[in-house]
């Protein structure tokens, strides 16, 4: 299938791009998209051993030997060490790395501090190295939470409301605080030593699915795995947006290269939201009679979830989402950047088809 979002291939000595968190689900796809588009890539990893994981994922994606167009830097979001070396010589930075737990921590600062401080470390290093533009991977979590229920679609003009009194998860808090801190930094401290201003753009995806290249998976992919393996005998009445990881990577490249993307946020979603039951029905039909038999499409009654809440923190965390629909619009990415995502169904089934090869572990 032809990629609907081909990136511009450099027509000169390839620019060097830093991707933070290249061993993660989205990070690996960003590295892959950059290499396939002719760029040189440096990616941060926390330990040297993770280099093999990155190379294995690239091979699974079709890039067996990137040669000298791929290099690694050791850096961690919680430390200043290594970031100056990581950004040296880079024209662009894709800051993808961020904590994304399978469960919400009791203390929100466990997510907020590394997300916010990590983003500021990357921006500070990028500014000092005269990087042209940073594309920050934010999230719909920084847009659509803490609001009164509404039927309208959220856009890039919206921000998650942290002081509304409505429940906002630690993860959504961390993404909101980190993105706001990034915009504030660029506005107040973004002047580079050469007199130019550091540019910032953000990509705000909903739940990311798509081809699994290795064992590091997102929480969204973990949900698909549980449904496919029949480990959710009853489904919660929840709805969520879906976007393919390949299209999120493509949007990062568009936000990196297009002049009109500077200073802008771009929401990434493929079509309307899907209910968990719709996703299960799609997976069941795709797997066929034999393999699909174990996929449950039955809903869990709300009374049952509420009864289980005192005994399960994960269930308690899901209660505010029951019956809630948060719609979102990617019209800006489509019209401003010409972004054209795959369908939500393609994203779900690409996940299903690539999961069996691996033994997943969370980032």
Q: Which residues are catalytic?
A: 175
Taking the alpha carbons of 160, 78, 206, 35 in that order, is the dihedral positive or negative? positive
Question: In 208-244, which residue ranges form alpha helices assigned H by DSSP?
Answer: 219-228
If residue 17 lies in a helix (H) or strand (E), which one and from where to where? strand 16-20
The end-to-end CA distance of the chain, in Å, is 29
Report the alpha-carbon distance of residue 137 to residue 39 in Å, rounded: 19
Longest dimension (CA), the chain: 64
Taking the alpha carbons of 76, 78, 82, 84 in that order, is the dihedral positive or negative? positive
CB 8 within 8 A of CB 38: no
Question: Which residue(s) pair with 129 in the sheet?
Answer: none
CB 83 within 8 A of CB 121: yes
């Amino acid at each position: 299938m032809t990629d609907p979002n081909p990136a511009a291939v450099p027509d000169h000595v390839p620019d060097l791009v830093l991707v933070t968190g290249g061993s993660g689900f989205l990070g690996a796809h960003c590295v892959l998209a950059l290499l396939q588009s002719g760029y040189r890539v440096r990616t941060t990893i926390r330990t040297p051993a993770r280099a093999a994981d990155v190379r294995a994922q690239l091979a699974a994606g079709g890039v067996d030997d990137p040669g000298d167009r791929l290099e690694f830097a050791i850096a961690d979001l919680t430390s200043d060490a290594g970031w100056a070396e990581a950004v040296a010589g880079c024209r662009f930075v894709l800051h993808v790395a961020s904590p994304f737990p399978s469960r919400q921590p009791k203390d929100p600062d466990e997510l907020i501090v590394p997300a916010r401080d990590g983003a500021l470390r990357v921006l500070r290093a990028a500014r000092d190295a005269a990087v042209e533009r940073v594309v920050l991977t934010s999230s719909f979590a920084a847009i659509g939470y803490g609001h009164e229920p509404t039927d309208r679609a959220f856009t890039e003009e919206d921000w998650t409301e942290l002081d509304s009194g409505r429940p906002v998860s630690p993860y959504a808090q961390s993404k909101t605080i980190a993105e706001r801190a990034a915009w504030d930094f660029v506005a107040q401290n973004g002047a580079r030593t050469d007199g130019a201003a550091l540019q910032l753009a953000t990509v705000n995806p909903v739940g990311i699915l798509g081809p699994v290249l290795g064992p590091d998976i997102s929480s969204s992919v973990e949900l698909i795995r549980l449904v496919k393996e029949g480990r959710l005998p009853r489904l919660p009445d929840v709805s969520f947006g879906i976007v393919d990881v390949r299209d999120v990577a493509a949007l990062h490249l568009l936000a990196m290269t297009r002049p009109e993307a500077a200073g802008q946020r771009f929401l990434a979603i493929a079509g309307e939201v899907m209910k968990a039951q719709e996703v299960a029905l799609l997976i069941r039909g795709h797997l066929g009679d034999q393999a699909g038999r174990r996929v449950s499409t039955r809903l869990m009654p709300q009374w049952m979830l509420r009864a289980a809440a005192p005994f399960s923190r994960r269930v308690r965390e899901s209660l505010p989402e029951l019956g809630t629909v948060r719609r979102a619009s990617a019209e800006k990415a489509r019209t401003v950047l010409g972004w054209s995502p795959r369908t939500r169904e393609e994203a779900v089934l690409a996940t299903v088809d690539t999961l069996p090869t691996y033994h997943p572990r969370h980032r």
